[in-house]
Structure 1
Amino acid sequence: MAPVAEPSDLPALIQGGMGVGVSGWRLARAVARTGQLGVVSGVALDVQLARRLWLGDPDGHLRRALAHFPDTEAAERILRRYYVPGGVAADRRRFRPVPRPSLRPNRTRTDLTVAGNFAEVWLAKEGHGGLVGVNYLEKIQLATPAAVYGAMLAGVDYVLMGAGIPTEIPALLDALAARSPVELTVDVAGTDERHTVAFDPSAFPEVGPLPRPRFLAIVSSDVLAMYLNRSSVTRPDGFVVEAPSAGGHSAPPRGRMRLDASGEPVYGPRDRVDLAKVAVLGLPFWTAGGYASPRGMAAAGAAGAAGIQVGSAFALCRESGLDPRLRRRLLQRVAEGTLAVRNDPLASPAGFPFKVAEVPGTLSEDDVYEGRPRLCDLGYLRTPYARPDGGVGYRCPAEPVDEYLAKGGAAEDTVGRQCLCNGLVAGVGLGRHRPGGYVEPPLLTLGQDLGFLPDLLGADGDYSASDVVRYLLPE
């Protein structure tokens, strides 16, 4: 475990690690340069690396980062396979496939995962001495060890993880810092047999011991915080305590799921976090979800928090990784008062409620959703399951229904499921063009508290990451 941080060492503001590529290196670097914690999203960085190289890496940033990657042979293999000088034509974005996560070893996938995380963190840290973190989903267990190692090779300062119970991450960070082989337990439906995904740092060039980043567990209840704190093996270095209004995935309500008149989950008194119980654990914590204002910052401090985590305010700023056209459309709808963000209980294949911003032309619209062929070719949210022959298969409730049923899935689990993987990738301008002219539509996520925007929007209807920091931390 990393040394316990003194209060003066802790950032007052954590920029949330949002979506796929929304919290990219440009945004994280901009926040880190203000003295706060900039965070990159660690989800699907292998696909993003491959696709941006396929588009020609026009500014040369990724090739510059790969030139510093310790495994020069792996970097050369990636460039040979995916880099297209000048990029492919805009209407031919069919992209060379990237191997999907699985228990079976695949060197191409491992190279891309390690290098993609390295490049994103390296670029976020380039040219300044500020703090940079990386955010992962516990649900995406198959990619975690290689992804974390890549981020650590670039000197990542913090690792954050939510959407699950990350009991094994502190020990994983300890082992990777020593460059020791690791195994991470993988949940396999339909069996009690333990399955693991293995990763051996010695497969990459010797770099010596690595600095061990601090680990922040993203939790939605004081009960989970106390559970993780019970043992030195599972204890994180701090917590981000997230309320249901935060963007992306959120924990389902405790107890029986009830929906309101608009079909959204109803949260009650049992879902309110007792921050006093978190504070008494003695670890630093940050609050998230509805705290994006000076008043929210003050309330967090009064509850004993080290600060707050803010996502949506940064997701809509100029340095955001969102496709610029979609970002402008979101801001316009906010200005018009027409933007709604729905907490959809069905959209995510992971089974967690997921915030969907309702924007014309995106998967939030029924006709766009119905017009998309069901398929699963990225596979980050696939669930491993035990096959009758004793092997392990993979299924996703957003894949074709007949395929899902043939793998033992239940028909009711397929209703309303969205392909978050392709939708979120499309939201940052990397959607795939398929035969016949079909283009993957985007899916956008934001938090449900957007009250900060009138204070941030300038005369030009826009604002920067540094504007957000100044608004939340006025001098």
Structure 2
Amino acid sequence: MELPPLIIGNLKAPVPIIQGGMGVGVSGYKLAQAVAREGGIGIISTVQIGYKEPDFEVNTKEANIRALRKQIRKARELCPEGIIGVNIMVAISDYDSMVKTSVEEKADIIISGAGLPLRLPKLVLGSDVKLAPIVSSGKAASLIMKSWIRRYNRAPDAIVVEGPKAGGHLGFHLEQLQRGKECLENIVHDVIEVVNSFGCKKNIPVIAAGGIYTGRDIVKFLKLGAEGVQMGTRFVATEECDAHINFKRAYVNSKKEDIKIIKSPVGLPGRAINNKFIQKVEKNRIVPSKCYNCLKKCDPDKTPYCISEALINSVEGKTEEGLVFVGSNAYKIDKIVKVKELMKELVTEAESLYTNDKMTNLLKW
């Protein structure tokens, strides 16, 4: 049985998979267009996207804006019929500029987390771009919906629910992660209930994210009421991923015990590979060589290290000198494949399980 498409307003993705946004060049136009070409939704991360621009060190804001324009246009050129979106962290200093640029370049959808995007509808007035906030609780979903409807008479076009097994920055307190009681299944259920309680006239699909690895996982969340999934980690180990081959190999070579929760300069816990860089910063502060003014709440005089430098080092291949964010299942990856091959694997497995008689067993996992 074919999987149901993911419909977000007037956008229709034949395959209900959103490729997660992964910052500082990991998910750029090459990966996004490849996923869109296979029927999913390809996402370009805006975080320090201009790191390859020649004037990035001295003209960071303008370099990022210029690079974002280039990336969206290149993705469109390679996959004109596909759905191309962007991921914009609320925590970045140039949030408004990144949103404005994405609207001007006619991104299909803006996915926004790492904070509550309460002002996002105001920034896109007059455009047809779809908006999907990222939440980690029903409470956050309710707050966003109430605020958007009251202030802008607009509800989200979709909501991405990111659980505790995701890679990178996590929307949970460290104590919550240590207790291990937070469960994506429960959070998805809570958010669906919140969405239904508002009685909006339009359909607002809930997208499950964080730790989703197989076609079986996809079906599980579809059966629980989600209308799609977001996956990041699986797409890193693809030929089209925009990161350096060493970054991809770090995933392939990782073991379960290598993956740990760290404290990020952003103020949130994050999941990363425990490499030499992590071990070094746990002992001593690494004084930033400069401040990129990338995060609203970062104090360069106190930050344990510069997250921009750490992420740029990794994506350029110097993985032992930087931060390698991963999802909880990264250690399961054993090879680098083409996006087409990965999408076929996921869809084939999911379609083989997407039948009513399998539903009871699926929901017991």
Query: TM-score with structure 1 length normalisation?
Result: 0.63
Distance 1:353 1:10, change over 3 A: farther
Deviations 1:144-183 (A, max 9, x none): 22212222333211100011111110221115x3xxxxxx
Residue 347 of structure 2 aligns with an amino acid whose one-letter code is L
Distance 2:116 2:14 in 1: 24
Contact 1:114 1:151 in 2 (8 A): no
- Cα deviation for residue 137 of structure 1 reads 0.7
Other-structure match for 1:266 = 179
Aligned counterparts of 2:57 and 2:288: Cα–Cα separation in 1 = 20
Distance of aligned partners of 1:284 and 1:132 in 2 relative to their CA distance in 1, 3 Å threshold: same
CA distance in structure 1 between the partners assigned to 2:222 and 2:194 by the alignment: 13
Match in the other structure for 2:48: 44
Give the equivalent residue in structure 2 for 1:224: 140
Could you say which residue in structure 1 is the equivalent of 2:105? 154
Moved more, 112-121 or 158-167: 112-121
Q: Which residue of 1 aligns with 2:258?
A: 340
State the one-letter code of the partner of 1:157. Answer: D
C-alpha distance in 1, partners of 2:72/2:266? 26
**Residue 445 of structure 1 pairs with residue 287 of structure 2:** no
Match of 1:106 in 2: none
Question: Is 1:354 equivalent to 2:270 in the alignment?
Answer: yes
Answer whether contact 1:113 1:146 (CA < 8 A) is retained.
no
One-letter amino acid of the counterpart of residue 89, structure 2: L
239-248 or 4-13: bigger deviation: 4-13
Amino acid at match of 1:221: S
Distance, in Å, in 1 between the alignment partners of 2:175 and 2:94 is 33
Q: Does 1:238 align with 2:139?
A: no
CA distance in 1, matches of 2:168, 2:266: 12
Three-state SS of the structure 2 residue aligned to 1:377 is coil
Instruction: Report the equivalent of 1:318.
Output: 239
Tell whether the 8 Å contact from 1:246 to 1:288 is kept in structure 2 after alignment: yes
Higher relative contact order (CA 8 A, sep 6+): 2
Q: Deviations over 1:315-365 (max 9, x none)?
A: 2222222221232233123xxx46622111x2x122111112123x4x222
Q: Return the letter of the residue paired with 1:463.
A: V
Match of residue 209, structure 2, among 266, 288, 294 = 288
Q: 2:116 aligns with which of 142, 162, 165?
A: 165
C-alpha offsets along residues 76-112 of structure 1, whole Å, 9 cap, x if unaligned?
xxxxxx4xxxxxxxxxxxx75234xxxxxxxxx3x43
Higher helix share: 2
AA at the equivalent of 1:300: F
Partners of 1:152 and 1:130 lie apart in 2 by 17
Q: Distance in 1 between matches of 2:182 and 2:31?
A: 35
Percentage identity across paired residues of the two chains? 24
| Aligned-partner SS, 1:126 | helix
Question: Hey, what does 2:358 align to over in structure 1?
Answer: none
Which amino acid counterpart does residue 464 of structure 1 have in structure 2?
Answer: K
Aligned to 2:170: 250
1:45 is matched by which residue type in structure 2? I
2:331 and 2:8 map into 1 onto residues whose CA distance is 35
Note the 1:10-409 alignment, pairs <5 A. Answer: 11-46=15-50, 48-50=51-53, 54=54, 82=55, 96-99=57-60, 109=61, 111-128=62-79, 129-140=81-92, 142-175=93-126, 177=127, 212-230=128-146, 231-232=148-149, 233=152, 235-253=155-173, 258=175, 265-268=178-181, 272-275=186-189, 276-278=192-194, 280=196, 282-333=203-254, 337=255, 340-344=258-262, 346=263, 348-359=264-275, 361=276, 363-366=277-280, 370=284, 372-383=286-297, 396=299, 399=300, 403-404=301-302
The answer (yes or no) to whether the contact 1:279–1:304 under 8 Å persists in 2 is no
Q: CA deviation digits over 1:33-58, x for unaligned, max 9?
A: 11110001111123x242xxx3xxxx
Give a deviation string over 1:220-260, Cα, whole Å, max 9, x none.
Answer: 0011112222242263211010101101111123xxx538x
Cα RMSD of the aligned pairs, angstroms, is 2.9
| Amino acid corresponding to residue 227 of structure 2 in structure 1 | A
Q: 1:144 to 1:300 in 2, by over 3 A?
A: same
Contact residue 253 and residue 331 of structure 2 kept, 8 A: no
Q: 1:464 aligns with which of 333, 338, 346?
A: 338
Counterpart residue type for residue 37 of structure 1: I
Say if 2:89 and 2:112, in contact at 8 Å, map to a contact too: yes
Higher Cα radius of gyration: 1
SS, match of residue 308 in structure 1: strand
Q: In the aligned structure 1, how far is the partner of 2:312 from the partner of 2:224?
A: 37
Note the residue ranges of structure 2 that are not aligned, 5 or more in a row. 1-6, 352-365
TM-score by length of 2: 0.81
Contact 2:88–2:112 (8 Å) recurs in 1: yes
Any runs of at least 4 consecutive aligned residues in structure 1 with deviations exceeding 3 A, and if so which? 6-11, 269-272, 367-376
How far apart, CA to CA, are the structure 2 residues paired with 1:313 and 1:9? Answer: 19
CA contact (8 A) 2:13 2:40 kept: no
Q: Partners in 2 of 1:123 and 1:355 — Cα distance?
A: 30
Gaps spanning 5+ residues in structure 1: where? 55-81, 83-94, 100-108, 178-211, 384-394, 405-413, 432-438
1:423 equivalent to 2:299? Answer no
Residues 113 and 143, structure 1, Cα contact 8 Å, conserved in 2: no
